[in-house]
């Protein structure tokens, strides 16, 4: 958890969460190892650890209750901070930034408080299959410094309904 997150928790009197914090699938599809993403920044866990999803469907949802931090201008990625201070980053595909927003539509706004399963972005899967380098969608925990363990799920997941990993602080 980041320094400011720890300060906010201390000031609010909020205790450290007991048990694991569940992170839900932001998009439906098949879970793959983060190392399979054809981008060194994700595959080598430079921005954080997590999983990748080979996506299906047409929307990306909030993986946890929290506040939307940044939605990229091209609408292909966003960050969200949970109430416990977890900082998650969801990035649709590889090479999608070069599409300059084509194939994506923003459904939420920066600073918006959302609940798990709220729609954040919409995407055109057939367009992206044709134009993106890869559709593998990394979901990473950016602030790993205070995480004791990250228990990753496997298999097919449904957006907003299935846990992709559990974080122990």
Positions marked active-site: 91
Distance CA 13, CA 42 (A): 35
> HEC profile for 3-23?
HHHHHHHHHHCCCCCCCCEEE
d(C-alpha 86, C-alpha 62), whole Å: 13
């Amino acid at each position: 958890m980041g320094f400011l997150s720890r300060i906010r928790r201390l000031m609010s009197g909020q205790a450290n969460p007991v048990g694991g914090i569940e992170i839900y699938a932001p998009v439906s599809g098949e879970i793959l190892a983060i190392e399979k993403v054809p981008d060194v920044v994700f595959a080598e866990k430079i921005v954080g650890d997590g999983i990748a999803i080979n996506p299906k469907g047409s929307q990306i949802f909030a993986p946890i209750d929290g506040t939307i931090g940044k939605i990229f201008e091209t609408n292909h990625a966003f960050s969200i901070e949970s109430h416990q201070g977890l900082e998650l980053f969801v990035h649709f595909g590889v090479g999608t930034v070069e599409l300059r927003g084509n194939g994506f539509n923003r459904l939420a706004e920066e600073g918006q408080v959302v609940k798990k399963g709220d729609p954040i972005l919409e995407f055109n899967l057939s367009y992206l299959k044709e134009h993106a380098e890869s559709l593998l969608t990394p979901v990473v925990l950016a602030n790993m410094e205070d995480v004791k363990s990250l228990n990753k799920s496997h298999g097919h997941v449904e957006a907003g309904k299935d846990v992709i990993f559990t974080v122990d602080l």
